[in-house]
Amino acid sequence: MTFDPQAFREQFPILSREVYGKPLRYLDNAASVQKPQAVIDRLTEVMTHSYANVHRGLHALSNEATTAYEQARESARAYLDAASPDEVIFTMGGTDGFNLVANVLGQNAIGEGDEILLTEMEHHSNIVPWHFLRKRKGAVLKWLEVDEDGNVDLDAYRAAFTDRTRLVAVTHQSNVLGAYTPLKEMAKIAHEHDALIIADGCQAAVHGPVDVRDLGVDFYVVTGHKLYGPSGIGLLYGRKDLLDSLPPYRGGGEMIDIVEKDRITYNVAPHRFEAGTPPILEAIGLGTALDFVREQDIEGLRAHEDALTAHAMEALRELNFVTIYGAQAGKGPVIAFNLDGAHPHDVATILDRQGVAVRAGHHCCQPLMGRLGVSATARASFAAYNTHEEVDALAEACRKAKDLLG
């Protein structure tokens, strides 16, 4: 099996449309990716033939929906190489995953004076929940500097630990710089200091299956809409022994065992953390998306994305009015850039009129913007369905933006 970029692209119907009379060149994949026909068809199939609530019913539709829902959990287990489906919690997305962990750790594991280590390039979803613990519980946030390419100094990381360090919260891949962190080494060092580690996999997991056991992390957060699946759904991996020791996040149906007037007992993981009616359709759709990715030639897919990134870096570097942020060797397919003297919002608007869709803003990474000395950037990000022609269109659109903006 070899990866065929054109055949892959043809499975995404939205990519055939035009905007402003020009072919759509969708380069905003770090924000959200488009959906393949397989996911669209699966959602339609379930809604048409076998939708019902899960786990509670004894009738045929409920049994079919429950089977599909739990099969999606198994698909997630396989994608993450978790030891058991019980280590996979369905969430409402990456942000919900971080809030879940912050909430349950804040109940009895992180308190006043306890330290949480973060890097400067974390997404706000991996910052704000820890600020909640800072404000409500008196936890201390300690920040690890990164260089201009997003590299983490492991010696400085080791030196940051104290006997009050309880948690490391770190991205696996930056959504601005495309930089990967040395996650496996960081997990090992955290455990040497009896600290837990949670990783933001919302960008890294897009590019193929992840081995959470090899990485050695305690928690790993994934969002579905960046992984060819629906929005409103995500995954939280957690070690089974750890999940079983943690209190619930929300109260309601499914997460309980026994409810009486004067006492309550709770269900086991993962159901303990999935209160109420879950995102049934979204979970099934995500399971289909994960299977869709696993069916690809992953090495070929990644090689294509790497080639697109290298092409784009070279094309933008040839424009002497463009500043690129982040050039880590082996970086993911994300390029943040600015045009000299132009606001990134203006740049993105002009590119949009040329049919090139990019992002502009702080990308929910304001501490990193401060580190880079800017308030915002434009950002082009690639998926496996993008083409080299689209990279050339990006460069040409930047030239036109420069001409218009002066």
The length of the chain, given as a count of residues: 406
For 93, 99, 207, 285, the CA distances from 282, given in Å and listed in that order, are 10, 19, 20, 5
Q: Give pairs for 152-160: CB < 8 Å, separation 24+.
A: 152/119, 152/181, 152/182, 152/186, 154/182, 154/185, 154/186, 154/189, 157/117, 157/186, 157/189, 158/189, 160/117
Tokens 């010696």, located at residue: 155
Residue 319 one-letter amino acid: L
Which tokens sit at 132?
A: 């909640």
Q: Residue 312: CB partners within 8 Å, gap ≥ 6?
A: 335, 380, 382, 391, 394, 395
Phi/psi class of residue 260: alpha, beta or left (left: φ > 0; alpha: ψ in -120 to 50)?
Answer: beta
- Bridge partners of residue 335, in order along the sequence: 380
SS3 state at 223 = strand
SS3 state at 129 = helix
Has 202 been annotated as catalytic?
Answer: no
- Helix, strand, coil shares of the chain as percentages rounded to 5? 45, 20, 40
User: What interhelical angle do 60-80 and 280-294 show, nearest 10?
Assistant: 40
Distance CA 30, CA 44 (A): 26
Q: Select which of 202, 364, 365, 398 is catalytic.
A: 364
Dihedral of CA 329/335/339/344: which sign? negative
Distance CA 222, CA 280 (A): 17
Cis peptide, bond prior to residue 270, ω within 30 of zero:
yes
Contact 34, 229 (CB under 8 A): no
Distance CA 243, CA 346 (A): 46
Q: Which residues have a catalytic role annotated?
A: 364
